[in-house]
Chains A and B, each alone.
Chain A
Amino acid sequence: DAGITQSPRHKVTETGTPVTLRCHQTENHRYMYWYRQDPGHGLRLIHYSYGVKDTDKGEVSDGYSVSRSKTEDFLLTLESATSSQTSVYFCAISPPSSGGTGELFFGEGSRLTVL
């Protein structure tokens, strides 16, 4: 158990509303990630963080922002949700034991539907 909790697990919202997804880890790992999963696309990286207040963009960052004010929490915000952001969102961590090789541990996912 990698100690990753995502919330909410399911959310339905309307176009134009703000949405925040939370990822909480219990292990104090430095690296955290947000991915989205869509049919035919696998998982695509949205943003990642390499420490408190240190974040960077991934492949599909447009329309998303992130914040990391504490080691254990990594927030993903959709400032104004659109239907194209309907997806399953996964948080992941990279433990030091992976040696920087890219092995990740994933949360259980947050299913977001934008109507």
Chain B
Amino acid sequence: GNSVTQMEGPVTLSEEAFLTINCTYTATGYPSLFWYVQYPGEGLQLLLKATKADDKGSNKGFEATYRKETTSFHLEKGSVQVSDSAVYFCALTSSGSARQLTFGSGTQLTVLP
């Protein structure tokens, strides 16, 4: 079956630091990969996505590259801000369940001023 493994948190960084949150996956077929973000007290919202190998998703300074050879989709940002403090979820859908997302356990990020 499908599964997503994220680095465990919580992660605490100083403002302007470099961020990496690791994500690896197991899936049947050719999955689409996603990063969702959840700000305090809110629902999840899509941050970025990639639908095929070597695609790079990007949004709000965040980037992730779909690496089929390492089954990874690591999230990166060059300079984090306090407003980036949130929980980040890696997720996938596969060709056998295109409309069902499988989520990782989430990584709590706190950015200190």
Genuine A/B complex: yes
Chain A positions within 8 Å of B, measured between CB atoms, are 31, 33, 40-45, 48, 50, 58, 90, 92, 94, 100-109
CB within 8 A of A102: which of B42, B100, B104, B106? B100
Are B103 and A44 in contact, CB atoms less than 8 angstroms apart?
yes
> Which B residues are closer than 8 A to A by beta carbons?
4, 32, 34, 41-46, 49, 51, 89, 91-93, 98-101, 103-106
Q: Which residues of A contact B99 (CB under 8 A)?
A: 31, 48, 50, 94, 100, 102
Query: Are A48 and B100 in touch, CB under 8 angstroms?
Result: yes
B43 touches A101 (CB 8 A): no
Q: A31-B99, A43-B103, A45-B101 are in contact. Are A106 and B49 (CB under 8 A)?
A: no
Bound CA–CA A24/B32 (angstroms): 27
Determine the chain B residues whose CB is within 8 A of the CB of A100 once the complex forms: 98-99
Contact pick for B105, options A33, A41, A106, A108, CB 8 Å = A41
Give A46 Cβ to nearest chain B Cβ, in Å. Answer: 11
CA of A70 to CA of B42 in the docked complex: distance in angstroms? 26
